Amino acid sequence: MRLTTAALLCASALLCRAAEPAAGHWEGVVHIPGLEVPLIVDLAPDSAGKWTGSATLPGFGIKGAPLADFAVKDSGLTFALKGAFGNPAFAAHLTASGELAGDFTQEGNTAPFLLQKTGPPQVEPPRTATPVSKEFEGEWHGEFDVPGSKLQSRLTLTNQAAGTVAKWVIVDKKDNELPVNFVTEDGGWLTVEVGAYGIVYEGRYAAGTKEIVGAFKQGGFESPLVFRRP
């Protein structure tokens, strides 16, 4: 039994060392047809050989999103971005010139990516949701502009032991509830994120008018969105 355990530990260590060149801070693009999406990935093994990582997609409101489902084999590495941007999967390998290349797969569509190592890994620690102050709790209504129309929006914030639960509905012919995955308040600023769609709302409570004044952001699109009590 001891020999079997030792052999497994040895194999694990060899596997980790084989993929250690993949550790680092990587920057580059995903080559989606007609669009190049900037991508930043940080990859690092811990002392036990378990891989961790985070990803940033500038312009899509995704910063330091955690990576998961790591699998390492020789110079190949696969992982996934959870709870953001449609939960894409990455299949990567180290090239002879030291780049990290591979395929980005999202909802059945695949596009190549190429990343250059620019420094040591800077894996973002997991973010912690926070409760919101009493001024933010409750139901809010607002509207914002999109090209060609206005959309109604309803946001309900409820504090619970594990943080804040948010229900966010956008009305476009019918009610569409967004899968909110992160809510926090910092210095009077409210942040509500829908990672699966790259949507972020940031707003500040205005005591004088009793409104939440902020903006709806998705990718490069941004529109003012003011929430008021119904």
Q: Using pLDDT thresholds of 50, 70 and 90, give the confidence band for residue 142.
A: very high
Q: Which two tokens stand for residue 143?
A: 């509207």
Q: What is the mean pLDDT of residues 188-216?
A: 93
Which tens digit of pLDDT belongs to each residue from 75-86? 789 999 987 777
Of the candidates 54, 199, 201, 39, the residue with the CA atom closest to the CA atom of residue 127: 54
- pLDDT at residue number 9: 39
Higher pLDDT, 96 or 17: 96
Q: Of 40-49, 78-87, 147-156, give the range with the top mean pLDDT.
A: 147-156
What percent of the chain shows pLDDT beyond 70? 91
| Residues 187, 188, 189, 190, CA torsion sign | positive
- pLDDT at residue number 16: 42
- pLDDT at residue number 7: 39
Q: How far apart are CA 99 and CA 24, in angstroms?
A: 11
Higher pLDDT, 8 or 36: 36
Which tens digit of pLDDT belongs to each residue from 105-136? 988 899 999 999 999 999 877 777 889 999 99
pLDDT reading at 88 higher than 80 = yes
Q: What is the mean pLDDT of residues 85-89?
A: 86
Provide CATH 2.40.128.120 ranges for the chain: 2-119
Q: What is the mean pLDDT of residues 60-81?
A: 86
Q: What is the mean pLDDT of residues 21-30?
A: 93
Could you list the beta-strand ranges (E) of 173-207.
174-178, 182-186, 189-194, 199-206
pLDDT reading at 13 higher than 60 = no
What percent of the chain shows pLDDT beyond 90? 57
- pLDDT at residue number 33: 87
Direct distance between the N- and C-terminal alpha carbons of the chain, in angstroms, rounded to an integer: 67
CATH number belonging to domain 134-227: 2.40.128
Q: How far apart are CA 192 and CA 163, in angstroms?
A: 12
pLDDT reading at 20 higher than 90 = no
- pLDDT at residue number 58: 85
C-alpha dihedral (52, 57, 62, 63), degrees to nearest 10: 50
- pLDDT at residue number 156: 97
Looking at domain 2-119, what is its CATH homologous superfamily?
Answer: Quinohemoprotein amine dehydrogenase alpha subunit, domain 2 (2.40.128.120)
